[in-house]
Amino acid sequence: MTNCLFCKIVAKKIPAKIAYEDDKVLAFHDIGPQAPVHILIIPKKHISSISDLSGQDCEIMGYLHLIAKKLAKEYKIEKSGFRLVINNGADAGQAVSHIHLHMLGGRKLQWPPG
Ligand code: 5GP
Ligand code: ZN
C-alpha cells in the first residue's frame, strides 16, 4: 500500500534497523523502544489490523510468532521472558495501520498494561 509507513519500510524507502528479513516477514527495531528489546514483526503483505484479517492470513499470523520465538533466542530474552502485543484500533492506541507484533523484553514488564 503506497501510503503506509510500514510498507515503505518493507520497500526500503524509509530506513529501519532490521533484525530479521525473509520473503514474507520483516522485523525491525521500534524507533521509540519501550523496553531494552522492542522489535516490530510485520508481514510484508499489507494487512491493516486484526479486524481486517481473513482466513487466508492464518498462516502468516502463525509465522510471525515463529519469528518472534527465533528472535527471542537471538536477543537472549527467551529464558527471562518477553511479551507479544498487537494493538488493534483507537482504544488500544494503534498508530500504524499495518499489522505488527510488538516483541518487548529485557526488563520486568507490568501487568495489567496501561
Ligand atoms: P502501534 O501504536 O501502532 O501499535 O505501534 C506503532 C509503533 O511503531 C510504535 O511503537 C512506534 O514507536 C513505531 N514506529 C512509528 N514510526 C516508526 C518508524 O518510522 N520506524 C520505526 N522503526 N518504528 C516506528
Ligand atoms: Zn502497509
pLDDT at 67: 98
Beta carbons within 10 angstroms of residue 43's beta carbon: 20
pLDDT at residue 11 is higher than 90: yes
Beta carbons within 10 angstroms of residue 27's beta carbon: 23
**Assigned domain for 114 exists:** no
Q: Per the residue annotation, which of 29, 38, 46, 100 is the catalytic one?
A: 100
Phi, psi of 68 (to 5 degrees): -60, -45
Q: Whose alpha carbon is nearest atom 20 of ligand 1?
A: 31
Looking up residue 22, the CATH number of its domain turns out to be: 3.30.428.10
Domain that holds residue 89: 5-105
Does the Cβ of 94 fall within 6 Å of ligand 1?
yes
Model pLDDT for residues 77-114, shown as the tens digit of each residue: 999 999 999 999 999 999 999 999 999 999 999 999 98
Count of domains in the chain? 1
In this structure, is the dihedral angle defined by the CA atoms of residues 24, 62, 29 and 96, taken in order, positive or negative?
positive
pLDDT band at 65 (very low <50, low <70, confident <90, very high): very high
